Structure 1
Amino acid sequence: MPIQDINKNEFKKLFEIAMDVAHVGYWEWDIKTNDVLWSRQKIEIYGEDADNYKPSFEKFLNVIDDETKEIVFKEIEDVLSGKKDFYNLEHKIKLKNGKVVWVHEKAFLVKDKNNKPIKMIGIVYDVTDKILAKEKLDLSNKYAKHLETHDQLTNLLNKKSLFENVDALIAKKEKFSLLFLDIDNFKMFNNTYGHIHGDLILQKSSEILKRLFSEDLLYRYSADEFVLLLDSSYDITQALQSIKLTFMKPFTVSGIQVKINFSIGISEFPKDANSTQNMITDANTALQIAKNMKNGTALFYNSDMGDDIAQQHFVLEELEKSVKNESFIPYYQAKVDSRTKAILSFEALVRMQSNSKVIPPNLFLGIATKNNIINDIDYIMLKKSLHQLRQWHDMGKKVSVSVNFTTGDFNSMRVFKLLEENSDLLQYLTIEVTESELMSLNMQELQSIDALKNLSIKLSLDDFGTGYSSLQYIHKLPLDEIKVDKAFVDKIPGHKKDEDLVRIIKSIADTFNLKCVVEGVETKEQIDFFSNLGIHTIQGYFYSKPVDAKTATKLLVDGL
């Protein structure tokens, strides 16, 4: 049968099928009576039961918000007035179950023989998937655009934005400062807890910085480096103080307490440079020198810093070669019983061997610490000291050895493996740790101290009294020994305050049943003073300077 011969009923049936397949609803609205006719599909799109639902124009208005109502009425008015040929809208509706659905409604006007509008006939279909896909695409494009100027991890402005904004500031020819911030010892956090934890520290640090400074002044430059741009309205000294005081307070990341410091390098426009690259280079130069000083150092750039950087790079290269070749060597300084002159133990002090020269620690330890090489050095020193200790014991010299630990050593797997391999020597091993290092230990590292004690290792608090919280560590930690710092020894005898301080330290040691060692002793008068106090374990040049293993062995054999 030719298609033009399809009768009205057949066409209506085909129309119904098409509406079902396409999930398109049909509707009519009588303009005079306000009555409506909705097809089953439209009722279902509107979230209702087609068998029991009686549609009305009011019910349609109930599922759209006030803003959409205004748009609908405006669209109807435009169609009725002849401004538009079709009613054509996309809008959202809220179903009775609370779900929000987007629909597209399109309709035309039916007029009587007098050209008066009598009804509107239209279709509706669900376009929620299309709208959500478009929103997702728009959001994705917006995020991609955002990432052109912002760092993905911290949501701070990125390096590209930094260069553009410094260019703009220089073009204005107004004074400003560029502060390069670097988290001290950040590699240690990554090595200890993993990179995910390190990322969380970066995020938390950026959040804290955003509480101090406007977001448009802060940039993440790379890894653990941030940049702060401050115009002349800011007092740089106050800004630095604000950063320092804020980050003195530890914060918690994934249940772990973290305390960080920033080393900071500062360049100023136009005093130091007149280009973006030079501003960044100068601030970075100052930063590199600050990083090789004590934690939390801030330095303003000056033109003499280039030579210092070259020297530091040379030392760093030597350090990296020495780690690879394990060419660090222990020098041993004796701890002596002043009553018998017997050597009780040795402290292993690090030296670096380079081109047949022995380099003292003051020339490289700071750089090693700032560049996260210190734990490698500690491991090499522990390894060589245990080897030497075994040689002395094989000779029948049951002397002890103390080694220095820093943050990151206490829960190092390779350190514990090495200790387990030398378990028979551990009762003769003392670990010395300074108060400043103890303060930077996290909870897990403090707990690792108990594990070390269970291996029969002794724990000594070095440089006692030079900080401000020694007593809390004596109370909390399983210490065996405290060492009186050289700073309190130099003016003894004859300096009452230092003498009184040492008496207090000795009293504390007695109270907690701790051994007391004095370091930096150089005169017979000092020996007599400490002997009268009942302190007989002495370390210092009076008995022996730090010496190589061969000389230390000779001291053991021949005596002092």
Structure 2
Amino acid sequence: MQIKDDERELNRARYRALSQQLPLMYGIITINTLAVAYTHIEIAPLFLTLLAPVLLLVFALARTVKYVVGRQRLLSDEQIAKSLRNTIKLVIPLSAIFTLWGLSFYQYGDAHQHAQIVFFIGVTTIVSAFCLMHLRQAAMLHLFIVSIATCTFLLTFGEPVLTAIALNLGVVTPVFATLLLQSEKDFARMILQKRQQRQQHSKLRALNEENKRLANTDSLTGLANRRQFLAEIDECVSRHGKLGSEFVVALLDLDGFKPINDVFGHPAGDQVLVDTAARLQKRFSHLPVLIARLGGDEFGLLFRDPGNDEEVMTLARSACDAFRDAFRFEEGAANLSATIGMARFPAAANSRSLLFDRADYALYYAKQNAKSEPVFFSHDHERLIFANSALEQALRHADLEKEMTVEFQPVLDLEYGSTKGLEALARWYCPTLGRIRPDLFIKAAENIGMMGRLTEVLFTKALKEARNWPGDLTLSFNLSATSLSSEAPVRRLLSIAERSGFPMTRLIFEITESAVMNDFESAMEVLNLIRESGAHVAIDDFGTGFSSLAYVHRLPIDILKVDRSFIRDLTRNERSANVLRSILGLCENLKIACIVEGVETQEQFDLVCDLGGRFIQGYYYSKPLSAGDAHMVLQIESDMQEPPLHAIGDRA
């Protein structure tokens, strides 16, 4: 019979039901009361026929107003529980007064009026119980107070008809009470089920929101991921397109990140990425900039409300400045930088895919020409894209066997004063585009997946010429990063060399530092395969990449080729001379050969000799030669002197 405070939702449902049903109950009671008072006004006292109905009307009106107004108010759980308890308390005196007032009329009037009194009490009781059914305590109290009092009253007359009515009422009341209780239980069960459904829906919605958050969040850094970044660009394209406003997409890539994973391990790399996210968030915490990790060491920046190009460049440079401090982790520390490519909507593009691609191209251009700096996509870049597209299209339709040629640049052995080997250099003359720079068409071949085919054609041509060289001259051939991604491409090249009859011991495969660091473990497998075949391995352009003893001593290499950038300032910069001296000493200690590239002047030649260099390559000795010129020069040299006892790359 108590109202439980912990049944908050059920109590609210009870209150809502009562606020709708009790005004109806009071209306019916008022109508029935007025009907009884009207039929007895001439035979019953005025306090019964006039005063009591007026008081009832006033009370019913006050309670009706209370519940109607209560619908519009936002009541607390405590206020609702208190109101329900007050309703239960009021039922006891009101039921007793109602019964006493109704039965008081039985002593007046004839049999018809007596029947009206019984009908009035019965109907009003049933209606009131139904209206109170959602508050079972009040309904049961009202039903049993009125029924017990009425049955007792009827039994006192001792008349068979009244006794039968009393017994009938006594039997029906418990049955009716059972029906009311069952209805109330169903009501409570329905409210509970709705609550459970809401809870399940709430949990499902929360789970969906969490799944959505996880699907759009990078698990390592907590930033938005690529999916979310692209979706935000789509939204910006739609919104800014309608408003005629602008936004900027920027792609940021870390310079030198790959070696962190390879040298210090992936935990160190993960720490760098987490630190990168924190630094970027700190830089742009006060600006409407979305920061996302797009994958690997690439991050995205979405400037939703950018200023002019100069203002955006200032913000982008501040992002680059965030990487000036060294990254520190348990295994050590590393200095990295960042390069940024940017594209503005709608000047650069008016669609998400094209905008992203052009920001990516600006990043690629910056990597090649302005590393560690932000670069905006421009009309010049657009022209370059068209040029690259034309180049790739021409390469797809090129007759490689006919259009590709090989030139050879000799390597001088200072100890013997003669050529010790030649490096094969790719050349392409396109009938429609003319002569194309090697770095351009090799990059295009990598982009369109033709590098494997191109490499085999050039290698076959180089071997064909090298077979006719006199003595034990070596052939150096450059491998791309694609060739180091798995053993299959190199196995095909070794098979071509074996079929050509060119000795494996005279074959040198040159690789760059960046190609090795692109996938260190795969590169190690490929290099071991080359060494097992009897061929030699050279690191080309040494000094421009990671240049770390952490990998030099692990790699199965025979030769280091010092990049020409150290030689360019050799005569003017003592630091360059010291670097070259250190590299020469390193090679001597590791018992590997060292070739100094880019020697073009007498001064450079003399200084390399003074520093102890033995092998040089560059225009001072010879420019790249056509196959015919190379054969002629080598033949002349062979006729003039006896060949030395050993060649570059010998491991003895």
The equivalent residue for 2:608 is 530
- In the superposition, the TM-score normalised over structure 1's length comes to 0.61
Q: Tell me if the contact between 2:247 and 2:345 (Cα under 8 Å) persists in the aligned partners.
A: yes
1:168 alignment partner, one of 239, 245, 248: 239
Write the letter of the residue equivalent to 1:181: L
How many aligned positions are there? 447
CA distance 1:323–1:72, shift in 2 (3 Å): farther
Distance 1:161 1:293 in 2: 25
CA distance 1:161–1:323, shift in 2 (3 Å): farther
The equivalent residue for 2:10 is 72
Write the letter of the residue equivalent to 2:181: M
Task: Give secondary structure in 2 for the equivalent of 1:489.
Answer: helix
Write the letter of the residue equivalent to 2:427: R
Distance 1:541 1:345 in 2: 15
1:510-549 equivalences under 5 Å are 510-549=588-627
CA drift of 1:474 comes to: 3.0
The equivalent residue for 1:264 is 341
Write the letter of the residue equivalent to 1:162: I
CA drift of 1:277 comes to: 1.6
2:538 alignment partner, one of 439, 453, 460: 460
Distance 1:170 1:245 in 2: 32
2:586 alignment partner, one of 508, 528, 544: 508
Q: Tell me if the contact between 1:379 and 1:415 (Cα under 8 Å) persists in the aligned partners.
A: no
CA distance 1:497–1:77, shift in 2 (3 Å): closer
Distance 2:545 2:280 in 1: 28
The equivalent residue for 2:350 is 277
Distance 2:289 2:379 in 1: 29
Q: Tell me if the contact between 2:406 and 2:462 (Cα under 8 Å) persists in the aligned partners.
A: no
The equivalent residue for 1:335 is 411
Task: Give secondary structure in 1 for the equivalent of 2:7.
Answer: helix
Distance 2:408 2:354 in 1: 42
1:220-235 equivalences under 5 Å are 228-232=302-306
Does structure 1 residue 409 correspond to structure 2 residue 483?
Answer: yes
CA drift of 1:355 comes to: 1.0
CA drift of 1:246 comes to: 6.3
Task: Encode CA deviations 1:511-541: one digit per residue, 9 max, x unaligned.
Answer: 2222111222234554444344443322122
CA distance 1:137–1:552, shift in 2 (3 Å): farther
Distance 1:414 1:396 in 2: 31
Q: Tell me if the contact between 1:390 and 1:425 (Cα under 8 Å) persists in the aligned partners.
A: no
CA distance 1:75–1:285, shift in 2 (3 Å): closer
Please tell me whether Structure 1 or Structure 2 has the larger radius of gyration of its CA atoms. 2
Task: Encode CA deviations 1:452-477: one digit per residue, 9 max, x unaligned.
Answer: 33333322222233456344433333
CA drift of 1:417 comes to: 2.5
RMSD: 5.4
Task: Give secondary structure in 2 for the equivalent of 1:543.
Answer: coil
Write the letter of the residue equivalent to 2:490: F
CA drift of 1:311 comes to: 2.2
Task: Give secondary structure in 1 for the equivalent of 2:483.
Answer: coil
Task: Give secondary structure in 2 for the equivalent of 1:294.
Answer: helix
Q: Tell me if the contact between 1:285 and 1:309 (Cα under 8 Å) persists in the aligned partners.
A: no
1:459-478 equivalences under 5 Å are 459-467=537-545, 469-478=547-556
The equivalent residue for 2:492 is 418
1:93-172 equivalences under 5 Å are 111=140, 112=143, 120-121=181-182, 122-123=185-186, 131=197, 135=201, 154=225, 156-157=227-228, 159=230, 161-169=232-240
The equivalent residue for 2:161 is none
Seq. identity, %: 20
Q: Tell me if the contact between 2:484 and 2:516 (Cα under 8 Å) persists in the aligned partners.
A: no
Q: Tell me if the contact between 1:435 and 1:461 (Cα under 8 Å) persists in the aligned partners.
A: yes
CA distance 1:313–1:406, shift in 2 (3 Å): same
Distance 2:253 2:520 in 1: 16
CA distance 1:397–1:481, shift in 2 (3 Å): same
Q: Tell me if the contact between 1:156 and 1:220 (Cα under 8 Å) persists in the aligned partners.
A: no
Distance 1:329 1:246 in 2: 44
Q: Tell me if the contact between 2:409 and 2:424 (Cα under 8 Å) persists in the aligned partners.
A: yes
Task: Give secondary structure in 1 for the equivalent of 2:228.
Answer: coil
1:139-538 equivalences under 5 Å are 154=225, 156-157=227-228, 159=230, 161-169=232-240, 177-181=247-251, 212=280, 217=290, 228-232=302-306, 236-239=313-316, 242=319, 264-267=341-344, 272=347, 277=350, 285=358, 287-288=360-361, 290-292=363-365, 294-295=367-368, 298-322=374-398, 327-355=403-431, 357-365=434-442, 371=447, 376-377=450-451, 380-381=454-455, 384-385=458-459, 388-389=462-463, 392-393=466-467, 397-421=471-495, 422=497, 425-467=503-545, 469-491=547-569, 496-538=574-616
CA drift of 1:286 comes to: 6.2
CA distance 1:159–1:232, shift in 2 (3 Å): closer
CA distance 1:488–1:303, shift in 2 (3 Å): closer
CA drift of 1:70 comes to: 0.7
The equivalent residue for 2:85 is none
Task: Name whichever structure is richer in strand by fraction.
Answer: 1
Q: Tell me if the contact between 2:289 and 2:304 (Cα under 8 Å) persists in the aligned partners.
A: no
CA distance 1:412–1:232, shift in 2 (3 Å): same
Distance 1:280 1:146 in 2: 22
Distance 1:503 1:205 in 2: 36
Q: Which stretches in structure 1 are left out of the alignment for 5+ residues?
A: 1-30, 35-56, 86-105, 189-200, 252-258
